[in-house]
Amino acid sequence: MVLVTGAGGQVGRSLIQALSAKGISVRAWIHREEQKESVLSSGASEIYIGDLALKENATKAMKGTDTVFFICNTANPREDEIGAHLIRTAKELGNITFIYHSVLHSLLSDMPHHDRKRKVEKTLIDSGIPYVILQPGVFMQMLLPSIRSVKNGDPFVQKFYASRQTKMSFVDMKDYAEAAARIIASGTFTYGTYEFCSNDPCSLTDMENILSQLTGRTVTSAFISDEDFLENSHMSPDSYAGQTLLTMFRHYNKSSFCGNSFTITQILDRNPVSVRDYLAENLETAKSRSSI
């Protein structure tokens, strides 16, 4: 039995689907009752509802499981604290492998959420319990609003590229989930840290060229302002999450954010979905929906 925290989010539901497809039982830990139907339809066999930050909930949720997959909601200011108490609980219960959904290049401490994830990684490694750390690049699903903009005949509106020198590595969330499910099913990846990225990093020029080829028109780009990003994301300008994400984008724009596809290719035993493939599939999906 695998306990998946943060099961109501996109990553959690994708992981549940991938585990369910392999016949692996999942207990989905969700925060709210209204998330129940979505995780059950994704393939969860059991549900636990409760606050992730409370130790008594962790003990109840973990009982009867052999694997904990810790996913924390984006830019949570307490992720390191929550991770620490979940790891302690897993150690106290015993015979649990702890898998952590981290981030590519967690050592980049100038980004607050990276630094918190780095602290969780250290706590996990120091704990002595069996662990796996997964470090995905930026999920391609974050490009969906930009794809919709292009589909509507507008520019490639985005936040990742303020410069044509910037390069970014992405990974399809479905590939990430499938690779994670393979790791869990295998049981041979413990005490390892694995970076998950798709093929070659993309520049803004690469993105525009791919989109232009796929649409048959010249696609230009537009950089969304901080104010518009926060408004579209329903975040207040002074919120921790909002400022954390803006700091992240500034780092990407200044320093790029690149990784390698070798590890995920080996685990999947195939090439991961490329940025071009993902853009093509979702542009076609968007066109199909618009014709209904």
Domains (range + CATH), the chain: 2-136+172-197+260-272 (3.40.50.720)
pLDDT at residue 285 in the model: 62
Query: Is residue 45 within 8 Å of 27, Cβ to Cβ?
Result: yes
Positive or negative torsion for Cα 185, 32, 249, 108: negative
pLDDT at residue 74 in the model: 87
- What pTM value is reported for the model? 0.95
Dump pLDDT digits (tens) for 161-205: 999 999 999 999 999 999 999 999 999 999 999 999 999 899 999
Average pLDDT over residues 119-130: 99
Dump pLDDT digits (tens) for 229-284: 999 999 999 999 999 999 999 999 999 999 999 999 999 999 999 999 999 999 98
Quote the tokens at residue 114.
Answer: 């990276």
Helix axes 55-62, 79-93, angle to 10 degrees: 50
CB atoms within 10 A of CB 33: 9
pLDDT at residue 284 in the model: 85
Dump pLDDT digits (tens) for 45-63: 999 999 999 989 999 999 9
- Give the pLDDT band of residue 292 (cuts 50, 70, 90): very low
Query: Is residue 89 within 8 Å of 83, Cβ to Cβ?
Result: no
User: Which is more confident, 291 or 20?
Assistant: 20
Helix (H) or strand (E) holding 193, with range, is strand 192-196
Query: Is residue 124 within 8 Å of 170, Cβ to Cβ?
Result: no
Query: Is residue 258 within 8 Å of 193, Cβ to Cβ?
Result: no
Quote the tokens at residue 24.
Answer: 């692996």
The average confidence (pLDDT) of the chain is 95
